[in-house]
Homo-oligomer: A and B are copies of this chain.
Amino acid sequence: MSFLDRIAECNKHDPALYRPFFAAGRQVGSVRHALAERLARMPGIFLADGKSVTLLPEFDTVEKRSTAIDKAVRALEADGIVTGRRNENYPACPEWGRAYDFVIERAAAPHFGIRSFGVHMTGFTRKADGIHIWVARRARLKPTYPGMLDNTVAGGQPVGMGLIDNMVKECGEEGGIPPEIARNVVSVGAISYCMDAADGLKPDVQFCFDLELPPDFTPRNTDGEIDEFFLWHWTRIADTVERTREFKFNCNLVLIDFFVRHGLISPEHPDYLAIVEGMRR
């Protein structure tokens, strides 16, 4: 068991499982074959030829495409295929920072293999014996990855909100971190990966932030998504990442990236370059 195992798990995917999904003249995602067959039976919305699925070109604005996708998603929900609606719109945006082609309900994004974006924050404090990091345990009743360990604060990136504003908002909701502290988050990069998941494909990007917290500050969940917080010495966390799958899959990458940036994984480590290169697929 090693850091490289965690990286490999986030990048385990089999292209043979999918057909490309096109919209607005470009590939915006990938769908499993069974889902493609189901979408083929929605002829007013999709064109499906057995090799790919295309949103009909008559939907020629962001609004029209979003409405058509919403109709398909609601049909898939009625079928019980898409579950766990979040009522959060994600942009279908193959290239971050450019225009998006439509918006899609968050819970449906992996089914269509839409790249989703999120924000992850590592909250830490410095003590005499080194860096300690706040670890969250996801609520046992959460629909996704219940009870697993998580980064201090993390959330999806909905459409129409700035990354830092979203990070600050999530700090308040998930960790009870007041804005005057949360505004000190430092943007430190991004991790990316591509993984087969139960609900489809996750070719996702997480923007990463560090926040050095005052030693006397304790996070406190306010939205029911986190059951408890622990302050662990970084070596305990590194050990947990290296030896177990207790952290939600992508949180491992955020932590490994933190260890690299803070000099906690030695450059003499034989896997160092593979680890550094593994942070981005």
Q: Does A193 sit at the interface, judged by CB under 8 A?
A: no
The contact of A188 among B98, B163, B263, by CB within 8 Å, is B263
Contact B280 A276 (CB under 8 A): yes
Complex interface: chain B residues within 8 A of A97 (CB): 268-273
Docked complex Cα distance between A98 and B274 (Å): 12
Complex interface: chain B residues within 8 A of A277 (CB): 192, 280
Interface size band for A? 20 to 34
Docked complex Cα distance between A205 and B267 (Å): 12
The contact of A164 among B186, B267, B273, by CB within 8 Å, is B267
Contact B273 A188 (CB under 8 A): no
CB closest chain-B residue, reference A165: B268
Question: Which residues of A does B touch, CB under 8 Å?
Answer: 95-98, 162-164, 185-190, 192, 205, 207, 260-263, 265-273, 276-277, 280
Q: List 28 A-B contacts (CB under 8 A).
A: A95-B273, A96-B270, A97-B268, A97-B269, A97-B272, A98-B270, A163-B267, A163-B268, A164-B268, A185-B263, A186-B262, A187-B260, A187-B263, A187-B265, A187-B266, A187-B267, A188-B261, A188-B263, A189-B260, A189-B261, A189-B276, A190-B267, A190-B272, A190-B273, A192-B273, A192-B277, A276-B280, A280-B280
Given A96-B273, A97-B273, A189-B260, 5 new contacts (CB under 8 A): A96-B272, A186-B262, A187-B263, A188-B263, A190-B267
